[in-house]
Amino acid sequence: MSANPSRTGLKFFVTLVVLAAAGVAGWLSFRPVAKVAAVRPGAASKIVPGTVVVTPEKTLEIRSEADGRLLESELAPGKKVKEGDKLAQIDATDIDIQIKHNESELAALRKTIEINDAKAQLAWKTTEEEFKETERLYQTQSLAEVPFTKAKRTFEVQKEEIKLTKIANERQIESLENTLETLRLQRKRTTVLAPFEGEVSLVYFHPGALIEKKQTLATLITANRLVIGKISEENFAEIQLGQTGLVKFLGYGDETFSAKVIKKLPTAEEATQRYLIYLDVTIAPERLLANLSGDVAITISERKAQTLVPRRAVFDGKFVYVVEGGRVMKRELEIGFTSLTAIEVLKGLREGEQVIADELDKFAPGDRVRVEPVKW
């Protein structure tokens, strides 16, 4: 029995449609993918741009206060320390020997003085008794005035000699005590302690190295960080305390962090002539690493806008790539407010149109593309 011609024709037609669809799908699959953002309404912001850098609240060079070989070191980049923690130990062997020698000398001196004082007291007691007898004889007129005057003068001289000996002994003791105090201070300085709580940034010497007095062993920074914004002179007047904005750090890609102006400095950097502001940034403290840099946009004013596009979609200051019917078209814009992440378009785009938002250098006007919407 022969096949129905109409059914055979229908099958053939369906086959052609399927093949054509497969061909179109295959052809389309070779088109590059353009990540597009939809033009949308929102709040447009007028901003003052600037750069930011994260610095420690305090930086201090840890210096050695003694000469000698570095015996021990707890210094390591990134190590957290508390105030009073031992950071390093300089060899104090020579000082310890001097301290021990001077302690022995001081002890011997005090013992010698004690013995000599005891002898001197006995001798003085005898001298006093002899003078009293001489004085009694003189008072009873058994001794002439001349020998009595001579005996009295000798007695007074001996009394003054005892005082001078006592002063000399006290000076000897004081001198040795001062020497010991100096040596102990030198000994104390061989131990390097952390002056405040912070983090070791840089280390210049390791155990075994010979250290000179006042030589820098390491750099210590505080755990607290300052986020400093740098603003051009022409924009600085618009900055006010309490204004908010967004910060982007180079180390964190496109992630943004809210910020508030908390201080304005009245003078500019000598090298760049940019004015400085301090920012309070909403970010976890452990992520606020020293020397992070990036950009800041301080919001000066805001208004409602009908057409906003991602800032990264605009190139050469006023152009975007629009995708219409699968084809790339270059469009010139009239720009309004510009924020850190978005640009207000006054003319050139309509709400809902799609603009290429990433890898703009891969496309040119007239290219046929497939679109992949991205959120922004």
- The pLDDT of residue 116 is 94
| Residue 326 in domain | yes
- The pLDDT of residue 26 is 46
pLDDT band at 1 (very low <50, low <70, confident <90, very high): very low
Q: Which of 256, 279, 302 is the last residue of a domain?
A: 302
Q: How do beta strands 334-338 and 275-281 pair?
A: unpaired
Looking at the fold, whether 155 and 145 belong to one and the same domain comes out as: yes
What residues does 248 pair with on adjacent strands?
256, 295
| Residue 61 in domain | no
**CA within 13 Å, CB half, 263:** 9
Domain, as residue range, for 160: 93-186
Looking at the fold, whether 74 and 216 belong to one and the same domain comes out as: yes
Looking at the fold, whether 85 and 107 belong to one and the same domain comes out as: no
Number of domains in the chain: 4
**pLDDT tens figures, 170-185:** 999 999 999 999 999 9
| Residue 19 in domain | no
User: Which residues 6+ apart lie within 8 Å of 64 measured at CB?
Assistant: 88, 90, 192, 211, 212, 213, 214, 215, 217
Q: For residue 375, give the 3-state DSSP assignment.
A: coil
The DSSP code sequence of 98-157 is HHHHHHHHHHHHHHHHHHHHHHHHHHHHHHHHHHHHHHHHHHTTSS-HHHHHHHHHHHHH
Angle at the Cα of 45 from the Cα atoms of 44 and 49, rounded to 5 degrees: 145
Looking at the fold, whether 171 and 99 belong to one and the same domain comes out as: yes
pLDDT band at 221 (very low <50, low <70, confident <90, very high): very high
pTM recorded for the entire structure: 0.58
| Residue 99 in domain | yes
The DSSP code sequence of 47-102 is EEEEEEEEEES-EEEEE-SS-EEEEEE---TT-EE-TT-EEEEE--HHHHHHHHHH
**pLDDT tens figures, 256-288:** 999 999 999 998 988 889 999 999 999 999 899
Cα-trace Rg, the chain: 45
User: What CATH number is attached to the domain comprising 267?
Assistant: 2.40.30.170
CA-nearest of 222, 234, 258 to 57 is 222
User: What CATH number is attached to the domain comprising 70?
Assistant: 2.40.50.100
CA-nearest of 217, 211, 180, 213 to 195 is 217
Q: Which of 164, 186, 208 is the last residue of a domain?
A: 186
**pLDDT tens figures, 145-157:** 999 999 999 999 9
- The pLDDT of residue 271 is 86
> Would you state the structure tokens that stand for residue 212, as one six-digit string?
């000179």
Looking at the fold, whether 122 and 97 belong to one and the same domain comes out as: yes
